[in-house]
Structure 1
């Protein structure tokens, strides 16, 4: 082996040794850096605001009927729905903001028809105060099926669906609730049966030899249903306790309306709205029960259409 080869080998060994030392130093520096960062991140993670825990009310009623809060599973089920809804901030805020548009009128109709005021929370549980459609085809604030809506006096046709008429649907709901109360004798059972149907709820009562909702073993949806209603009542009646501090200007309100009685066919609702100093969007927003772009008025019938003032 000549000297040139020896020099080359020595040079490679020195280079490899240098690279090895460089990597060891780099690894040591990285380890030191990591060990100082982790405690910092951990400290930051623990510096946030604590999650609020809520105490259940000492007593609670629905429609004047006592909720048995001393029963362990009742407390747990109510607890669950309060936390689910209180911490679903976006939904609860929008419910509260929307409530001033519709609850005053719902409260008035319930009171005039001798239905307990707490049933307004049933409407919230059913539809979130929106004209929604369920997968089964129930529609409107009170989620009437087609046949049930017609049974309680709502017009449902090609042009008109009064399940979307908040006032008329609320009036129909009061008739339904009164009839259910005649059957069950207590308002809690009336509310629960609104979810699973009067026949289904009555069958569960007979099968389980108990009339009390809180003593019945029910499907998941109906088992939670009353407690969702109760949770809305608890939060709406004590909003600041659950972190909701809305001011008057935060709420939504309906505009003032002019009401126009219609006794003849309207061939084009957009043109008709323009003739009354409004537009098609406003007509549809405030009269969602009008389904088509025209309105056929049967002999002897009339409709009241409302449009924003000004």
Structure 2
């Protein structure tokens, strides 16, 4: 498990492109036959990918957690971005099709990921946050997610959001999770931008076709930088940073948040006149 530490916004102003990528970009989130995890010191958020091929993969308990098992003091969100697979939680198996989500509550001791066909593997994206109480392990399909339509073609930001783990959906302690789809011909996400000082966020970009890419923008609204992001790469967004992107084609991304509250609309807008 990689570890990423917090960065002060004044320090961030001095970063080169390589430094920005080293601190905030996580590459190779989906590796065949492996589980890849990143531990961020922003709200102690863990994110990563599990791509089972030749056999099941068990959620590891890294020594840095100083826990008896991974979810002793944590909760977990799982979103399948690949072919059909299953997640076994303490002996109960949950089948997950593409875009099905599973919330796993604190206290679950064993979590194992499997693909129904190793040649067409599931691609499980994982988000985990500290938890202070237990909520039941719950599956939600794409049809059960809360669907929001935002933006318009005129501003090239026509998109659809699917909310799974949130205050009016699958219940959790602090984890919020879902994904966004840019409609064909649209490229901008989360613009005009915002920050939210009360929680951090991680974007995992996926379904970026071929050699296309997304230019992800971050930093304080008056001090922005960019990161060129490819398929199945994730960007950590500190509470003080905007988090938006423009692609060379349409794409999708998973958003996961943790922090002081779960209100999706709790945002500090950054008017376009302030962005630099």
Which TM-score bucket, shorter chain as reference?
under 0.3
Q: TM-score, normalised by structure 2?
A: 0.23
- When you count strand as a share of all residues, which structure comes out higher? 2
